[in-house]
Amino acid sequence: MEDLHKVHTMIGMAIYDKYLGEKDRRALSLTKGDYVYRKNLGVRLGAGVGYLLLAGLYLAKQLFVDEADLFLLLSRQTVIRLFVGLIVVLIVYTVIGNLLFRREYDRAVRRNGLYERRVERLRRYDAEERTIGDE
């Protein structure tokens, strides 16, 4: 029966190594704050660039399709409104990213702890087999 438990433990470890092990080890090589910061940086850059592209398309539509005056489009009020919109987008994506990436890191910690407990269980099985074999 212990052999069946040992095989089950080894299968669980192999599945973890194949699907999540490398990703979790990369995440856990950093502190939680560094991991969240690095992951969130890409999200903020992507959201900022996306917002600027959409704002540029909106301004181009106003200029070419609606034939708005260029100087009215580049007024102080328009620039402030676009800048405030960019800040809001960055804040929203920062909050969402923080929540998601902290949860992702916590899950990696939990999975790695389970993996370590399985390693310890295998060591106990091997130690028991050696003591039984020595008798």
Q: Distance (Å, rounded) from C-alpha 116 to C-alpha 38?
A: 26
Burial 104-135 (b: 16+ CB within 10 A, else e): bbeebeebbeebeebeebeeebeeeeeeeeee
Provide the whole-model pTM.
Answer: 0.77
Residue 74 CB burial class (10 angstroms; 0-12, 13-18, ≥19)? exposed
Q: What is the pLDDT of residue 110?
A: 96
Distance of CA 29 to the CA centre of its chain: 14
Round to whole Å and give the CA distance between 70 and 64: 10
Residue type, 90: L
Residue-level pLDDT at 75:
85
Cβ partners under 8 Å of residue 16, min gap 6: 111, 114, 115
Amino acid 66 reads D
User: What is the residue-level pLDDT of the chain in tens, covering all 135 positions?
Assistant: 567 888 888 898 999 999 999 999 999 999 999 999 999 999 999 999 999 999 999 888 988 888 888 777 788 888 899 999 999 999 999 999 999 999 999 999 999 999 999 999 889 888 887 787 666
Quick one: pLDDT at residue 134? 65
